[in-house]
């Protein structure tokens, strides 16, 4: 009988030791995974004139040159924002772009100044009148009007800056904080 109790007592200690080691390991967090920057393929929720837009950010030259070419589908509130380092006259065309789009040109303060319709596959340049444009937003044709977005409305520059940081791009290069 004494031997059975000793074995049973030894097993209890073994189980207690095992449970202690197991539970001690549970409290530790796993090593942090490296943060992978987002890309032009990712969407960011950014408001324009108070309306939420799921927008992709075209920042690098090859992203801007590609834009929405060959896209056959775009969600109802999806678009692409093109960001420039400094204000300038902007010009776009619809080469290899099958979707009818509207383009809105914004100044450095994020204020919408001009809106133009663009037609599928039309290679006629659509240029801003002003040389003070820094951002351009392409949306489905009619989106601005349907959502009551007019010149004077603004894009949320704080959200735009945060999205650039998620892409591992310094927003101060675009005059954003």
Query: Each residue of 20-43: pLDDT tens digit?
Result: 555 555 555 667 777 789 999 999
The mean pLDDT value for 110-121 works out to: 98
pLDDT for residue 49 is more than 70: yes
92 φ, ψ (degrees, to nearest 5): -135, 160
Question: Quick check: 175 and 160 in contact, CB under 8 A?
Answer: no
pLDDT for residue 126 is more than 50: yes
Query: Each residue of 74-102: pLDDT tens digit?
Result: 999 999 999 999 999 999 999 999 999 99
pTM over 0.85: no
The mean pLDDT value for 148-168 works out to: 98
pLDDT for residue 71 is more than 80: yes
Q: Which CATH superfamily is domain 44-174 in?
A: Protein of unknown function DUF192 (2.60.120.1140)
pLDDT for residue 174 is more than 70: yes
Dump the DSSP string for 124-135.
S-EE-S-S-EEE
Q: Mean pLDDT score of the chain, rounded to an integer?
A: 89
Enumerate the β-bridge partners of residue 137: 81, 104
The mean pLDDT value for 156-174 works out to: 98
Question: Quick check: 31 and 141 in contact, CB under 8 A?
Answer: no
- pLDDT of 35 reads 79
> What are the residue boundaries of the structural domains of the chain, listed by start?
44-174
Q: How far apart are CA 124 and CA 44, in angstroms?
A: 30
The mean pLDDT value for 44-50 works out to: 98
Within 10 Å of residue 75's Cβ, how many Cβ atoms?
Answer: 10
Dump the DSSP string for 43-78.
-EEEEETTEEEEEEEE-SHHHHHHTTTT-----TTE
- pLDDT of 9 reads 46
Q: How far apart are CA 82 and CA 64, in angstroms?
A: 7
Q: How far apart are CA 58 and CA 39, in angstroms?
A: 9
Q: In terms of Cα–Cα distance, which of 74, 79, 73 is closest to 58? A: 79
Quick one: tokens of 83? 């960001």
């Amino acid at each position: 009988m004494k031997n059975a109790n000793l074995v049973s007592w030894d097993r209890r200690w073994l189980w207690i030791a095992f449970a202690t080691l197991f539970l001690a390991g549970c409290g530790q967090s796993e090593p942090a995974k490296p943060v992978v920057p987002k890309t032009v393929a990712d969407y960011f929720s950014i408001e324009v004139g108070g309306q939420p837009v799921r927008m992709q950010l075209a920042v690098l030259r090859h992203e801007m040159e590609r834009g929405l070419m060959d896209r056959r589908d775009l969600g109802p509130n999806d678009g692409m924002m093109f960001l420039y380092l400094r204000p300038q006259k902007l010009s776009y065309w619809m080469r290899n772009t099958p979707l009818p789009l509207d383009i809105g040109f914004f100044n450095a303060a994020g204020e919408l100044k001009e809106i133009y319709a663009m037609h599928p596959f039309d290679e006629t340049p659509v240029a801003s009148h002003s040389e003070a444009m820094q951002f351009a937003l392409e949306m489905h044709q009619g989106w601005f009007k349907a959502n009551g977005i007019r010149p004077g409305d603004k894009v949320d520059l704080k959200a735009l800056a945060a999205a650039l940081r998620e892409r591992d791009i310094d927003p101060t290069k675009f005059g954003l904080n």
